Structure 1
């Protein structure tokens, strides 16, 4: 199953295969196979196919971190670097701008900035480069990504869970 998100004009397509639940004895040896693509009109087309770049335990960690972010249990920015250097995730909690010293005045209706997730994709060119692109997921897109990962982990199913059925109907999951 794939997830496809249009992130302000950059389309992210992502699929995880061969996920297996892990435990303390195999958390660092159980690799998932990943396909992903970033596309935008004629200026961007970066893809990786059938590559072992995420551990199953990293999928589990991402699920927990996304749940914490969405439920406002996270209060500080957290960057999660995967073991393989293809991805990095920056989890940004809700922020009260009136407490930020960079702002002199914040109107009451603009006081809070909602959560977001920055997904950094690092480029390879015969080897890892210093170059990357960062796409930002808003709350709704984070919720979709969490549902997708829960499907991959077997916590949700397309047969039994209405949210999964809705995302399939919208072609976000396919």
Structure 2
């Protein structure tokens, strides 16, 4: 099953397989990950059937995303995985009136919603300093949380939220 998102013109597709519940970081179950990024003629990136995430890393990502959605993150947090292909940066809601970069903020736009950056690091015979950063807004995060809940077995394919995302083409079975 795939998560299929339109990230402002970039098609982001993710599939996580072989998840097995774990109890802590000493459990070493690898999930199989497929990921593709496509956009026009300029982007065609594919990771296929790679061991990129431990099951506990999927759990950690899910917990961090839920905390972000529920305003439980107060400062920017970064999570790097054992395999260095992914880095997640969680940005909490921010009151722009407290940011010295802004002189004037239009009424109603004082609070910037939380978001996540998913950095996908490129390889060229080894890890490089090059990466692409995909910005997940609240709706993208909500869709990713639903997908991850399905992956880890907290919900099943018959859940109302999953059914809605299948009908929209956001989750592909």
List per-residue Cα deviations over 1:20-73 (Å, max 9, x = no partner): 00123842x111010000111000001010000000000000111011000111
Asked if 1:76 corresponds to 2:75, the answer is yes
Asked if 1:172 corresponds to 2:170, the answer is yes
Residue matched to 1:100? 99
Residue matched to 1:110? 109
Residue matched to 1:158? 157
List per-residue Cα deviations over 1:117-141 (Å, max 9, x = no partner): 1110001122111110001011001
Shift in Å, 1:105: 2.0
- Counterpart secondary structure, 1:169: helix
What is the aligned length? Answer: 172
Residue matched to 2:64? 65
Is there any run of 5+ residues in structure 1 with no aligned partner, and where? none
Q: 1:100, 1:128 → 2: CA distance?
A: 35
Q: 1:100, 1:108 → 2: CA distance?
A: 15
Q: 2:112, 2:23 → 1: CA distance?
A: 37
List per-residue Cα deviations over 1:128-159 (Å, max 9, x = no partner): 11110001011001000000001000001112
Consecutive aligned runs of 4 or more in structure 1 exceeding 2 Å deviation: 24-27
Q: 2:26, 2:32 → 1: CA distance?
A: 16
- TM-score w.r.t. the length of structure 1 is 0.96
Residue matched to 2:5? 5
Shift in Å, 1:107: 2.2
